[in-house]
Every structure is written in C-alpha cells, then in structure tokens.
Amino acid sequence: MITGGRLEVTSDRPTQFVDISTRLQDEVTATGLVSGRVYLQSLHTTLGLAVNENEPLLLQDLQGTLERLAPRDVAYHHDDFTRRANIADDEPVNGHAHCRQLLLQPAFTLLVENGRVILGRWQSIFAVELDGPRQRSIALQLDGEFAPSGARAGACKNDRDRELVELELARQLRVDPESVQLPMRRLVEAGGKRLRPLLVMLSARLGPRQEPLRAAALAAAIELIHDATLVHDDYVDRAGIRRGRPTVAAAEGASQAVAVGDFYFAKATRVIAELGNQEVTSTVAAAMETICLSQMDDVRLRGLYPGDFDVYLRVVRGKTAALFAAACRAGAQLSDARPETAEALSQFGDLLGIAFQMADDLLDYSESSGKPRGQDIRERVLSLPLIYATENDRVGPRIRELLAGSVSEEDVGEIQTLVSASGALQRVGQDARDLATSAVSRLDAIDVDGIRPVLADLARSAVDRVR
C-alpha cells in the first residue's frame, strides 16, 4: 500500500534549517505505517533537504559553508533580469540560493521500523530554506506495511480531537470584540503544539460521561488561558516575537497586551464555569492561581540569576506544569472518571509539563526554533542549560562573570557558546526524556482504556523538539 500527502513548512529567515523530524514522525504515526519507507521530495528549486545534527553551532557552520561556496554578494547570470524572458514582477534575486540547492538534496528516502522513522542518535531531518522567508511544500509518499484500520482508529480519533479543538477555538474567538480578537487570533493561528487541549481531550475519554463537544469547550478554554499568560509574559519579558510572529505587546502595545490577556483570562474562566462542573472549575482556578504565584516568584528570583535546580523545579512546576496537570485532571473530571484516574493523570501532566519546559529551554540554543536565540539570557529567564553550565568547573566561572554585569549581545553569544561546549544541552535533553518516561509510568496503575500509547507518543513528541 502507498499513501501520501504534503508537509507544509514556513520559514522566517533567508537561510534557515527547519527541523521537521517530529512532524515527519507525526505523519508516519497518523498513517499507521509500521514498516517501510518514507519518500520526501522538495517542491522548490531553492529548498533543499538534509539529515544532520541539530546543534546550534553546527547549524551556523553549515550556513557558513553554504555562504562560502555560493556567496550571496557575487554576480549570478540568473540575477541579470535584462537577459531573461518573462520575468515576474516579484522575481527574487536568488542565483545564490539555486546554486546552494545543488549542494543539498532535493529528495530522499527514510526507513521506518515499528512505526518509527529510523534516525541515528544525533540525526535530525531538515528542510533547508535558501531563499526565505517563505511558505514551502514537501511531497511525501509512505510505502510499506500499515497497521490494520482497527489499530489506526485511535490515531483517527486523535485527528478528530485536534480538529474539534481547532473548530472550537475558532468559534470562541469569532464572537469576541475585534480589538481583542484580532491580536489573539494572530497568536492562536500561528500554531503551537496544542498539547494542553489535547491532554484535556484524551483525559476526557477515561470516564463514563464522554461528551466530545463539552471536552472541546474545556480544551479551548485551557488553551486560551495558556495564550493569555503568554500575552502577559511577553510584555513582562519584553519579547518581540512569539511563534514566529510579533507579540501583542510589540505589535499593539503594552496596554493592549494587558487588556487582551485579561479579557481571555476572564473569558476562559466563564466558559469553564458555564460547563457547570464544580470540580473542573475548582481545578482550573487553583492552577491559575499557582501559575500567577510562580510567575511572580520567577520575576523576583531574577536577582539571583541563574539560580539552581531546586529553584528551577519550583518555578517550572508552577509556571508550566500546573496547567498541564490541570488539563489532565480537569479532562478526567469532566468525564466523571474515578478520582484515582484523575490523580494519576494529574501526576502524568505534572511531570510532562516539567519535561516540556526543559525541552523548551533548549530552543533558546536552537537555530530552527522560530524563537530568537539567547532571549532567555537577555531577559534573565530561569533556564536549566544555563544552571547546569554554571555548575561546570571549566566554563561555569566565566559564565557567572559574564552574567554579573549588564549582558551585551557579544556576551550573549559567548554564553551560548560556553553552554553548548559544557555538555549542558545534552544533559538537559536526557533529563527531559527521562522525565517523560517517568510521566508515562504514572499511568501504569490505572486503566487508561487504550490511550496509553497516544499519551506516550505525546510525551515523546513534547521532549523531542530539539535533538
């Protein structure tokens, strides 16, 4: 059997290594391919494909190599529009990008075993943008043995859950006043992994009262709470970009960011109250309070930067994991699941939330994350790679010295290099994977009605964003 489709990739820089490993694995999982091959083919003459290590400094080296072999600032015949026919008005000057594409691959094949794309420990799959920013398409064909349709029913149900959450989010936003709706839509439509709403939808399958539309309303409300905290956080952290788009504070101004965040805090609270489940209302309200207390804790602790592991764990458990845990617990409560099921899911969410944040910290060192590199250092945000690196005898003293004063852009670059050289990124990556495994083991004691593999996959994808 053969099936196929398109993988859409968005770049936001002229040259960019976009890691598509997780998305490709998601495609394989969704189709149920157990054993076989995935064929990838770039549909553009200035988009290449590559398998290599997602290590920030190496990606700089690879970019430098492309620049040296086909420099942007030399003359290319292709760019002499006076000698070409049928030139479009928006024809780009991109001879260098076409030449660079010769150095990469337009297509390749990857092997799949036991439903997983086979990759070596350090291998990641990249779409390499050579003339961005642009919207790109990669053609996929999957060929081999597929799981029987019964086994794929779970995956199809997940797809339906995702679709339901997206529809509910769109429906919720559509009725809001434009002044708050438009900035929030920009954030919501920019994507995000929707982990928290998916946790709600999955947990809401575990009790006797299964009502997908009510679960979707709760899931969308949880996502809006998350997004509202991001809108306020971005003002506090002076972040200009979120999910590759301007933040509300940067685009509409700080006052608007405050109002938009407040509106969606309140709206989400109302949507949840209207569900009429007292346990759910209390679970989410308690989580919101924990998040706010931890956010204040986080800002207060920036004077002790970079902090230590215990401080980090306390803040992350409150700022990030509390909403993961609440999403799991509230979903279970909405379906009238047994208390021990809700408790086990909450523990799963707590550990997964911490693991997720650890993986998120690594993105500050990644070229392909869509976030500006070094932002956590500039804004003195607690970050585990930095904590581990400062414990390193070789580079720790120098990092502390750099952090002691006002940190220049040059200092940010040096700190990033030192952290990468210390082995801290690998240590954090391993910690995140171990925690995700530990999270899944919390489900052993309860009957999770066949969704254990889905939760395990979700946990894996949450921490595998950077390899």
How many residues belong to the site for another protein (CB under 8 A)? 40
Query: What is the dihedral angle through the alpha carbons of 71, 123, 421, 300, rounded to the nearest 10 degrees?
Result: 100
Residue 42 φ then ψ, to 5°: -65, 140
Task: Pull the structure tokens for residue 382.
Answer: 């607690």
Task: Pull the structure tokens for residue 79.
Answer: 């760019």
Closest CA to 165 of 143, 128, 135, 195: 195
> Whose Cβ is closer to another protein: residue 178's or residue 410's?
178
| Rounded Cα distance, 285 and 224, in Å | 14
> Whose Cβ is closer to another protein: residue 44's or residue 232's?
232
> Whose Cβ is closer to another protein: residue 109's or residue 278's?
278
* Contact pick of 123, 137, 210, 281 for another protein (by CB under 8 A): 281
* Contact pick of 107, 167, 296, 304 for another protein (by CB under 8 A): 296
> Whose Cβ is closer to another protein: residue 11's or residue 333's?
333
Asked if residue 291 binds another protein (CB under 8 A), the reply is: yes
Contact range with another protein by CB under 8 A, out of 119-127, 290-298, 384-392, 409-417: 290-298
Residue 56 CB: number of other CB atoms within 10 A?
24
Asked if residue 304 binds another protein (CB under 8 A), the reply is: no
* Contact pick of 50, 110, 292, 311 for another protein (by CB under 8 A): 292
* Contact pick of 52, 60, 210, 295 for another protein (by CB under 8 A): 295
37 strand-pairing partners: 111, 143
246-275 mask for another protein (x: CB under 8 A)?
-------xxxxxxxxxxx-xxx-xx--xx-
> Whose Cβ is closer to another protein: residue 75's or residue 175's?
175
DSSP calls for 277-324: -HHHHHHHHHHHHHHHHHHHHHHHGGGGTT--HHHHHHHHIIIIIHHH
Contact range with another protein by CB under 8 A, out of 3-11, 113-121, 278-286, 359-367: 278-286
CB of 347 to another protein, least distance (A): 21
Rg, C-alpha atoms of the chain: 23
Name which of residues 191 to 250 contact another protein (CB under 8 A). 232, 235-236
Asked if residue 179 binds another protein (CB under 8 A), the reply is: yes
Asked if 16 contacts 367 with a C-beta cutoff of 8 angstroms, the reply is yes
CB of 280 to another protein, least distance (A): 9
Helix then strand then coil, in percent of the chain rounded to 5, is 60, 15, 30
| Rounded Cα distance, 196 and 329, in Å | 11
Task: Pull the structure tokens for residue 85.
Answer: 């026919």
Strands (E), 104-199: 107-113, 116-117, 124-129, 135-146
Asked if 464 contacts 358 with a C-beta cutoff of 8 angstroms, the reply is no
* Contact pick of 120, 177, 303, 405 for another protein (by CB under 8 A): 177
Contact range with another protein by CB under 8 A, out of 21-29, 197-205, 289-297, 341-349: 289-297
State the amino acid at position 146 in one-letter form.
F
Asked if residue 35 binds another protein (CB under 8 A), the reply is: no
* Contact pick of 147, 250, 299, 313 for another protein (by CB under 8 A): 299
Residue appearing with tokens 């932002």: 375
CB of 272 to another protein, least distance (A): 8
| Rounded Cα distance, 155 and 26, in Å | 10
Residue 228, SS3 per DSSP: helix
> Whose Cβ is closer to another protein: residue 265's or residue 365's?
265
> Whose Cβ is closer to another protein: residue 35's or residue 282's?
282
Asked if residue 408 binds another protein (CB under 8 A), the reply is: no
> Whose Cβ is closer to another protein: residue 297's or residue 414's?
297
Contacting positions for another protein (CB under 8 A): 176-180, 232, 235-236, 253-263, 265-267, 269-270, 273-274, 276, 278, 281-282, 285-286, 288-289, 291-293, 295-296, 299
